[in-house]
């Protein structure tokens, strides 16, 4: 882990840099290096195992994109609800990729998507290894790659577009030297996968400009053309340039800041959720080490390292400024950056300790001890969580219930009858029925009601025959069920109860001929914005 | 007749151990001058003399006054320090339990005296394996309290003297530093708490680091291992962490002076010694690592860390809001103030404190005014030299006199950095407050690591010794006076200003005390300057400064630890005597106080088992179990509603209530002006056989279900049922007869016509095992976190034994470490 003595001596004496070496040693190409190939194989095995373990476990929001992909393959076009051209996914590129993967492999969308994620994680690790080897930091790169490929946080977000977009960006950074057109294509498609990758494209453009002292016009023109094509396509198909989810998530942060943190508390919620779900009490150690490593990579690393650092840091600043509510998958590129940064920072500490001890054999033990002291509080919890993922993967009881509800609706609800709820991905995907999203992600006409904090009004604006009610989310749905008209207008049809935590989902159906009041407010129409 | 001889015992014991320590150190390590040792013993005798030689008690036992059954106790004059309530309400009872176990020849594994029982080794505050506590085991607890306190101070004084002398301080300069630390705020204000163990051993640890690096002899490494183990066994994980950080910093600073190729070996050897220390301390550390995270306090801290992170990440919300920012910065300043003027915001000891926390917590960072003056002098000189060396414009300054040649202590810069970092942590500006909650290894602390003030006091004491050394290098009196005089004047003005500016001025706090404190502090400044200016011989000057430092700190901190009359030490009133007799006749039966009577854990001193507890000695599971009967309160878990079935489950046979109070439904057993004893006939024995049971369900939290049971004789909630069903009903009669009830072992005999559930009111932390007819038998949980087991029909011998996994692993590690240590030390010709 700590590099060879010759690597240590190759560095400018004690300058304190994390990544720079005076003269990168000549190395065999990656595909001819048995150690690199072995590592690549191990990562591939870990990724395949990860895919098999989390198959079908994606978070609800990702099923929104899956439903777009499913409808595309079904011939209904790239839409969430057939016939409604609503730009309700932030990951159209991911949707297209997943659709393509499904079409090629004949796997269902929800089973094809994990393979795309696994491939993205492996690619990230491989790209970082390539970059690290060239800079004489193979051990750090190997550690970073291993942390990424085995990260339970990233596998929990299987199906997310973040790793794909980041892998495309890093690939672009690696390719930009000799193949600027390919780099532009990759970078442009990264923006299709996730619009905020635009920050990464801009950062890569600036890096190339700074490296060469002239405008990287081939990269810029190609990347710009791909992005422009995406925007034009979105405008043509959906009637808008960008996804409508941005506005919906901003409104969420304004409506219930205690649940949906935004602004100054955006990363507070991020740190809290990382602490609870991933890193444990050592979260600050990850942040401090990761930031130290990232800053150093940004200053002294090679292009892909710098891009990783710049992109992660830019996102860290941008999200609070955007005012959107925190969702854990926003943190994916930043977590990847922190993991890589922490690996490099640990490597720096170990190398410093080794040099401090004069590069002697005993100095290796001191370096190993220093590394251990840093790695134990951080790596222990990460390893435990990763082991938990591989040994006993599981999904949220609620998601299991959503799957059952979706399946039940598909078998029992008449085609074309819509269902209303606040988490619409899985229910929509599995039910194949139109879904009205009371939080407005895929239902733009609900957004004005979200702005008012009035889910009942949003429902009454376009009532559906079916309603899903979740006992664990009663804070959202309770006003609807407690509305005076509800009892007379809807009846309970089926009741799903999770045997583990007792969470219950109830499906209500509108009584035949039941009258509903108009939506509250000064006018029956939703307020215009 | 010979009571006065017994009264002398603690003092003679302390003197004996101290002399043995000094002799041993002189023989195998460095020489502590007998004169300095005499001064140290003299100071200890002055401060704690009444407890060491006069038969008084160095425990704030008058905190018991006013509480049933101690309402009749007359006040002591001077009164005890009510800030030291923990000592009497928590620490001494735990000590009593440890002593009981040791006297029985057992490991102090379990105490049945609190809650449903609690792991003694798992509660760090019990200090169950702390060498200083064990050193006083031959003395009875009331006499041992003073002896342990005195030993803490002596060990701190002696080892800091040796450390400073090793780092280049002259004998009396070292003594001045030692006195500053030993009589400083941290050790004196926390003297009765476990963290004082760490404060006592910290100088020994640092001294061991220095000698181990310098010589690497076997005895040096042995000292390092033992000192580190003593620090780890101190009973305060936070303070031990700070001590280890300081030791690591010093170790690195020491080896940094060597050639690069020679650095690794001493670091590795010292690291190995530290690892062995962890191994030796493992029998206490591992059970604590299992228990502490289960306490409500740990959960609350974890919740705080998580919530703060969510609502105010890195203080950004505070910094963005002008009102909150101003308040946070004001609090930061208030936390710093006691380092300069410890009583500027009052003192709880004298009735009122208006600082951020309490005067113990905040003023523990105070090391003395004269000490501060000398430390500032050393720091100024150091910074000036550093600036001169780095100034590119003053080439001539690059050849400035090296620090050591100017009389400064080695590693002066390290102590300066330690002081600065520690002070920053104590000040806790907004961003730092949250970072501190997420430190690796240390984790969230109830006081945001404010007790790192320990390192501040140590560093300032060392800097003061360095300052004296620097002064000795200045021959001309005016040259000594020029920097010191104005510095003292500024300090004096700031201190007086702090007292005047912070005084409420509304008559709620007397000016007399304020004037006295101002006089002591400014007087110390004046005396220090007066000692420095005219006295030409450096050793006499240092001696004079020693006296100034000792006098100031004794005057300021002496009142914090008053000795109290022996009559106040847990007196046995008649109701208590009755309860003791009843408990002896009915093993396993418990008693509880009502309406604040007989605070939880205190009955442990009398050998009474009490299901109430305190937040640090109880697990959250047990807290959830008794939640329906918990009264409002802070650290103590007091009970209400004695008719509640949970009282039956917990086997509460007797209730002590305030005199004259009526407890409906209970039989009055004894009426006395000190309290009324009621009997609860419905109390269940420690082991019993419920008639039916329901299975625990993952989707239904057990606390609600247990709370809903109205008769625990009839029903229990069991973790599992025979055959995996949802309900079970007894198929025939049976009985269980309790035999021996020992803290970590309970025996019984059962005679059953059919399979039955054996339920208990013993808290299962995972360490209780059952032997049925001598063979291991599986246990389950019933009624929440209580031990239970399914017993087969027929006659059986039952033995419940407490053997926690952490202790077993710890003993294994300790044995392994001891073996390695002995092999290491016994290796011929090494090093």
Mean pLDDT calculated for residue range B477-502: 92
Say yes or no for a CB contact (<8 Å) between B317 and A264. yes
**Alpha-carbon gap: B264 to the closest alpha carbon of chain A (Å):** 5
pLDDT, position A14: 37
- Asked if pLDDT for residue A467 goes beyond 50, the answer is yes
Rounded CA-CA distance A50/A36 in Å is 20
Please report where in the chains the tokens 């208990």 appear, as a residue: B760
pLDDT over 50 at A5, yes or no: no
Q: Find the CB nearest B260 among A358, A369, A502.
A: A358
Q: Residue B514: pLDDT above 50?
A: yes
Query: A489-503, B391-405, B734-748: lowest mean pLDDT where?
Result: B391-405
pLDDT for position B306: 86
What average pLDDT does chain A have? 89
| pLDDT tens-digit map of A8-31 | 333 333 334 444 444 455 567 887
Q: What is the mean pLDDT of residues B354-376?
A: 95
Other C-beta atoms closer than 10 Å to the C-beta of B641 total 12
Helix locations, A256-394, DSSP H: 266-274, 283-300, 303-322, 332-356, 361-391
Tell me the three-class secondary structure of B211-258, residue by residue.
HHHHCCCHHHHHHHHHHHHHHHCCCCHHHHHHHHHHHHHHHHHHHCCC
Residue A19: the pLDDT is: 44
* pLDDT tier, B615 (very low <50, low <70, confident <90, very high otherwise): confident
> Which helix or strand (DSSP H or E) is residue A188 part of?
helix A180-193
**Per-chain mean pLDDT for chain B:** 92
> Does B265 touch chain A if contact means CB atoms closer than 8 Å?
yes
Asked which of B288-297, B436-445, B533-542, B614-623 is least confident by mean pLDDT, the reply is B436-445
The 3-state DSSP class for residue A296 equals helix
Chain A: give the shortest CA distance to residue B129, in Å.
Answer: 26
Q: Which residue has the higher pLDDT, A280 or A147?
A: A147
Stretch B311-329: mean pLDDT: 90
Of A268, A360, A501, which has the smallest distance from its Cβ to B309's Cβ?
A: A268
Beta carbons of B425 and B332 less than 8 angstroms apart: no
pLDDT exceeds cutoff 90 at A261: no
Residue A420's DSSP bridge partners are A436, A467
Residues 6+ apart with CB under 8 A from B587: B686, B738, B740, B741
Interface membership of B698 toward A (CB under 8 Å): yes
Q: What is the pLDDT of residue A12?
A: 35
The residue with greater pLDDT, B115 or A521, is B115
Structure tokens at B157: 């004084």
Please report the pLDDT score of residue A256 as a whole number.
82
Contacts 24+ apart (CB under 8 A), B293-296: B294/B619, B294/B620, B294/B621, B294/B765, B295/B615, B295/B616, B295/B617, B295/B618, B295/B619, B295/B620, B296/B615, B296/B618, B296/B620, B296/B623
Q: Are B263 and A268 within 8 A, CB to CB?
A: no
- Greatest alpha-carbon span in chain B: 100
Given CB atoms, is B317 within the 8 Å cutoff of chain A? yes
Q: Which residue has the tokens 């690290």?
A: A132
- Report the distance separating Cα B238 and Cα B446, nearest Å: 10
What three-state secondary structure class fits B466? helix
Are residues A276 and B306, on separate chains, in Cβ contact within 8 Å?
yes
- Hey, of B241, B267, B273, B700, which one would you mutate to test binding to chain A, going by the most A CBs within 10 A of its CB? B267
* In chain A, % of residues over pLDDT 70: 93
SS3 of residue A95 by DSSP = helix
What is the DSSP-derived secondary structure letter of residue A278?
Answer: I
B441 touches chain A (CB under 8 A): yes
- Min CA distance, B467 vs chain A (Å)? 31
The pLDDT tens digits of the residues spanning B1-37 come to: 577 888 999 999 999 999 999 999 999 999 999 999 9
- Of the given ranges (A254-268, A349-363, A455-469, B136-150), which has the lowest mean pLDDT? A254-268
> Within 10 Å of residue A304's Cβ, how many Cβ atoms?
25
What per-residue confidence (pLDDT) applies to A502? 77
pLDDT of residue A26: 52
SS3 A466: strand
Which is it for strands A435-437 and A419-421: parallel, antiparallel or unpaired? parallel
Rounded to whole angstroms, the Cα distance separating B354 from B359 reads: 9
| CB atoms A358 and B700 under 8 Å | no
Per the CB < 8 Å rule, is B264 touching A358?
yes
- Cβ of A265 and B317 within 8 Å? yes
Place of tokens 């300081």: B246
B453-471: pLDDT as tens digits:
999 999 999 999 999 999 9
Query: For the segment B217-272, what is each residue's pLDDT rounded down to a tens digit?
Result: 999 999 999 999 999 999 999 999 999 999 999 999 999 999 999 999 999 999 99
Name every residue whose Cβ is closer than 8 Å to that of residue B309 and which is 6 or more positions away in sequence: A268, A271, A272, A275, A283, B434, B437, B438
Question: Do residues B624 and B784 touch, judged by C-beta distance below 8 A?
Answer: yes
Burial of A504 (0-12, 13-18, 19+ CB in 10 A): middle
Dihedral of alpha carbons A430, A432, A438, A439, sign: positive
Tens digit of each residue's pLDDT (9 = 90 or more) over B109-125? 999 999 999 999 999 99
Cβ-nearest to A272 among B306, B314, B439 = B306
pLDDT above 90 (res B698):
no
Mutate to test the interface with A, among B309, B324, B443, B699 (most CBs of A within 10 A): B309
C-alpha distances (whole Å) from B126 to each of B360, B640, B754 are 21, 27, 43
Lowest-pLDDT range of A23-37, A435-449, B81-95, B676-690: A23-37
Report residue A100: phi and psi, to 5°.
-65, -45
Answer whether residue A254 shows pLDDT above 90. no
Beta-carbon separation of A275 and B267 below 8 A: no
Please write the tens of the pLDDT for every residue from A184-219.
999 999 999 999 999 999 999 999 999 999 999 999
- The minimum CA-CA distance between B255 and chain A, rounded to whole Å, is 9
Give the least confident one: A139-143, A271-275, B194-198, B419-423.
Answer: A271-275
Average pLDDT over residues B500-510: 88
pLDDT band at A311; cut points 50, 70, 90: very high
* Tokens matching residue A25: 């040693």
Confidence of residue A276 (pLDDT cuts 50, 70, 90): confident
pLDDT for the residue numbered B636: 82
Is residue B760 within 8 Å of residue B788, measured between CB atoms? Answer: yes
Whether the CB-CB separation of B534 and B477 falls below 8 Å is answered with: yes
Classified as helix, coil or strand, A439 is coil
Report the predicted TM-score, pTM, of the whole model to 2 decimal places: 0.90
Chain B contact for A271 (CB, 8 A cutoff) = yes
What is the percent of chain B where pLDDT is above 70? 97
Nearest to A347 by CA among A387, A290, A275, A280: A290
Residue B400 has pLDDT above 60, yes or no: no
């Amino acid at each position: 882990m700590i590099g060879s003595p010759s690597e240590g001596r190759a560095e400018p004496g004690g300058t304190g840099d994390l990544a720079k070496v005076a003269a990168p040693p000549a190395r065999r190409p990656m595909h001819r290096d048995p150690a690199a190939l072995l590592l690549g194989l191990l990562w591939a095995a870990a990724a395949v195992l990860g895919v098999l373990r989390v198959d079908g476990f994606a978070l609800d929001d990702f099923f929104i994109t899956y439903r777009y992909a499913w409808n595309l393959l079904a011939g209904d076009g790239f839409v969430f609800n057939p016939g409604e051209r609503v730009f309700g996914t932030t990951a159209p590129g991911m949707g297209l990729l997943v659709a393509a993967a499904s079409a090629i492999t004949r796997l269902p969308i929800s089973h094809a998507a994990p393979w795309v994620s696994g491939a993205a994680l492996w690619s990230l690790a491989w790209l970082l290894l390539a970059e690290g080897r060239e800079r004489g930091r193979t051990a750090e790169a190997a550690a970073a790659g291993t942390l990424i490929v085995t990260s339970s946080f990233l596998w929990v977000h299987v199906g997310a577009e973040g790793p794909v977009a980041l892998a495309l960006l890093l690939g672009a950074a690696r390719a930009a030297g000799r193949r600027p057109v390919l780099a532009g294509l990759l970078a442009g498609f990264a923006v299709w996968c996730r619009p905020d990758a635009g920050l990464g494209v801009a950062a890569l453009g600036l890096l190339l400009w700074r490296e060469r002292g002239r405008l990287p016009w081939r990269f810029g023109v190609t990347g710009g053309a791909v992005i422009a094509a995406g925007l034009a396509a979105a405008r043509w198909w959906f009637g808008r340039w960008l996804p409508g989810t941005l506005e919906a998530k901003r409104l969420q942060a304004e409506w219930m800041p205690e649940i949906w943190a935004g602004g100054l508390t955006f990363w507070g919620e991020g740190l809290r959720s990382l602490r609870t779900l991933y890193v444990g009490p050592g979260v600050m150690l990850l942040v401090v080490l990761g930031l130290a490593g990232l800053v150093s990579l940004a200053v002294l690393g090679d292009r892909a390292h710098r891009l990783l650092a710049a992109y992660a840091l830019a996102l860290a600043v941008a999200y609070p400024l955007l005012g959107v509510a925190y969702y854990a998958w926003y943190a994916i590129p930043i977590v990847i950056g922190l993991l890589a940064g922490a690996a490099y920072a640990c490597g720096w500490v170990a190398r410093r300790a080794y040099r401090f001890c004069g590069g002697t054999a005993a100095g290796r033990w001191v370096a190993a001890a220093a590394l251990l002291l840093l790695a134990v509080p951080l790596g222990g919890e990460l390893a435990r969580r990763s082991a938990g993922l591989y040994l006993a993967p599981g999904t949220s009881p609620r998601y299991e219930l959503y799957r059952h509800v979706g399946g039940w609706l598909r078998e029992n609800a008449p085609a074309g009858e819509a269902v209303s709820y606040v988490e619409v991905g899985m229910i929509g995907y599995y039910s194949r029925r139109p879904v009205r999203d009371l939080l407005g992600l895929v239902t733009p006409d609900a957004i004005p009601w979200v702005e008012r904090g009035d889910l009942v009004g949003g429902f009454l604006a376009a009532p559906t025959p079916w309603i899903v009610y979740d006992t664990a989310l009663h804070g959202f749905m309770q006003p609807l069920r407690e509305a005076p008209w509800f009892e007379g207008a809807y009846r309970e049809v089926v009741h799903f109860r999770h045997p583990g935590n007792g969470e219950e989902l109830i499906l209500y159906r509108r009584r035949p001929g039941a009258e509903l009041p108009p939506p509250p407010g000064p006018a029956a129409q939703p307020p215009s914005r | 007749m010979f009571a006065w001889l017994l009264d002398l015992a603690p003092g003679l014991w302390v003197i004996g151990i101290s002399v043995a320590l000094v002799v041993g150190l002189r023989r195998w390590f460095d020489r502590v001058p007998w004169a300095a040792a005499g001064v140290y013993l003299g100071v200890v005798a002055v401060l704690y003399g009444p407890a060491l030689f006069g038969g008084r008690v160095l425990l704030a036992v008058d905190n018991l006054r006013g509480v049933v059954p101690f309402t009749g106790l007359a006040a002591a004059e001077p009164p005890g320090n009510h800030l030291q309530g923990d000592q009497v309400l928590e620490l001494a009872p735990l000590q009593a339990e440890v002593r009981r176990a040791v006297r029985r020849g057992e490991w102090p594994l379990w105490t049945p005296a609190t809650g449903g029982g609690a792991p003694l080794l798992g509660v760090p505050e019990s200090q169950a394996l702390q060498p200083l506590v064990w050193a006083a085991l031959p003395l009875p607890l009331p006499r041992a309290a003073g002896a342990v306190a005195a030993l803490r101070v002596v060990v701190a004084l002696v080892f800091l003297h040796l450390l400073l002398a090793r780092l280049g301080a002259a004998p009396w300069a070292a003594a001045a530093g030692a006195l500053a630390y030993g009589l400083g705020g941290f050790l004196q204000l926390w003297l009765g708490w476990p963290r004082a163990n760490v404060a006592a051993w910290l100088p020994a640890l640092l001294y061991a680091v220095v000698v181990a690096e310098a010589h690497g002899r076997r005895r040096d490494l042995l000292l390092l291992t033992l000192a580190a183990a003593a620090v780890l066994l101190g009973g305060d994980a936070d303070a031990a962490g700070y001590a280890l950080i300081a030791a690591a910093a010093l170790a690195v600073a020491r080896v940094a002076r060597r050639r690069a190729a020679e650095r690794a070996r001493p670091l590795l050897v010292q690291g190995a010694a530290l690892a062995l220390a962890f191994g030796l301390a493992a029998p206490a550390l591992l059970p604590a690592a299992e228990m502490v995270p289960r306490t409500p306090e740990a959960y609350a801290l974890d919740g705080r860390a998580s919530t703060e992170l969510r609502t105010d990440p890195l203080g950004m919300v505070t910094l963005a809001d002008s009102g909150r920012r101003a308040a946070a910065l004001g609090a930061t300043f208030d936390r710093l103030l006691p380092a300069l003027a410890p009583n500027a915001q009052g003192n709880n000891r004298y009735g009122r404190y208006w600082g951020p926390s309490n005067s113990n917590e905040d003023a523990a960072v105070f090391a003395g005014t004269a000490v501060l003056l000398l430390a500032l002098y050393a720091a100024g000189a150091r910074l000036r030299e550093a600036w001169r060396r780095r100034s590119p414009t003053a080439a001539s300054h690059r050849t400035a006199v090296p620090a050591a040649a100017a009389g400064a202590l080695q590693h002066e810069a390290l102590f300066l950095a330690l002081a600065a970092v520690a002070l920053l942590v104590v000040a806790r500006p907004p961003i730092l407050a949250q970072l501190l909650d997420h430190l690796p290894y240390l984790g969230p602390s109830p006081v945001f690591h404010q007790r790192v003030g320990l390192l501040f006091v140590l560093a300032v004491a060392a800097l003061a010794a360095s300052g004296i050394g620097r002064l000795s290098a200045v021959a001309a009196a005016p040259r000594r006076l020029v920097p010191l005089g104005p510095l003292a004047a500024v300090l004096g003005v700031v201190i007086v200003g702090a007292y005047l500016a912070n005084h409420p001025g509304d008559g709620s706090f007397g000016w007399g005390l304020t004037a006295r404190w101002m006089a002591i502090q400014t007087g110390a400044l004046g005396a220090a300057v007066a000692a420095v200016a005219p006295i030409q011989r450096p050793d006499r000057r240092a001696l004079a400064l020693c006296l100034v430092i000792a006098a100031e700190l004794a005057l300021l901190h002496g009142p914090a630890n008053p000795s109290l009359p022996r009559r106040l030490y847990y007196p046995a009133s008649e109701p208590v005597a009755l309860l003791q007799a009843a408990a002896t006749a009915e093993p396993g039966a418990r008693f509880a106080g009502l309406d604040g009577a007989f605070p939880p854990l205190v009955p442990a001193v009398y050998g009474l088992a009490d299901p109430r507890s305190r937040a640090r000695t109880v697990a959250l599971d047990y807290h959830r179990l008794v939640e329906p009967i918990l009264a409002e309160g802070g650290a103590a878990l007091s009970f209400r509603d004695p008719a509640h079935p949970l009282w039956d489950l917990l086997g509460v046979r007797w209730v002590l209530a305030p005199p004259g109070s009526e407890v409906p439904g209970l039989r009055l057993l004894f009426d006395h002006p000190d309290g009324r004893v009621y009997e609860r006939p419905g109390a269940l024995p420690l082991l019993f056989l419920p008639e039916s049971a329901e299975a625990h369900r993952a989707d239904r939290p057990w606390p609600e279900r247990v709370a809903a049971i109205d008769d625990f004789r009839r029903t229990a909630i069991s973790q599992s049922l025979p055959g995996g069903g949802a309900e079970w009903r007894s198929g025939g009669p049976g009985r269980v007869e309790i035999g021996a009830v020992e803290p970590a072992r309970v025996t019984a005999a059962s005679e059953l016509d059919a399979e039955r559930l054996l339920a208990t009111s013993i808290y299962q932390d995972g360490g209780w095992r059952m032997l049925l007819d001598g063979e291991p038998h599986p246990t389950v949980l019933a009624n929440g976190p209580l031990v239970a087991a399914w017993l087969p029909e027929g006659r059986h011998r039952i033995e419940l034994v407490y053997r926690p996994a952490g202790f077993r692993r710890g003993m294994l590690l300790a044995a392994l470490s001891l073996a390695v240590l002995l092999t290491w030390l016994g290796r011929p010709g090494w090093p």
